[in-house]
Copies of this chain bind each other. A is one copy, B any other.
């Protein structure tokens, strides 16, 4: 319920955001729901265990999760990224404006950073890289969150 404009059901959200050309299956809707209900990027393993927690009776395969994350990415509604502090990829539904995170090195919580600071200095970068055609960027802050900062050791 993070990116709703006004109150509406999950079915309506699905209806509105579902990408064209992607067949709507039970597994894909479930994966979409997990990503939608979470406010931070998730790893494939986290998505997998969330699915099996919410629907213990249904069977899910890792390959299905990976294949559908790829399908969502190709359809343009999901972004995959690899954070320098974790060794596996994380996935999140594409936001209206892209986001960056502060990642806690201890508990791995990912706190969205409100503004994209890069925006302010994009021209600065373009100046120093005149021949490079910039298509994107990634910024990641790391450190310790409020809960963990007093006990940073493992």
**Footprint of B on A, CB under 8 Å?**
81-84, 86-87, 89, 102, 104-105, 111, 113-115, 117-118, 120-121, 124-125, 128-129, 131-146, 149, 152
Cβ-defined contact, B135 with A138, below 8 A: no
- With A125-B141, A143-B133 known as contacts, the answer to whether A89 contacts B89 (CB < 8 A) is no
Within the complex, the shortest CB–CB distance from A89 to chain B, in Å, comes to 7
- Please give me the 8 A-B residue pairs with the lowest Cβ-Cβ distance, nearest first: A131-B146, A135-B143, A134-B143, A133-B149, A133-B144, A138-B140, A81-B84, A84-B138
B102 near A132 (CB under 8 angstroms)?
A: yes
User: In whole angstroms, how far apart are the Cα atoms of A102 and B125 in the complex?
Assistant: 10
Given contacts A83-B82, A84-B82, A138-B142, contact A111 B89 (CB under 8 A): no
B140 pairs with A137, CB closer than 8 A: yes
Q: Determine the chain B residues whose CB is within 8 A of the CB of A146 once the complex forms.
A: 131-132
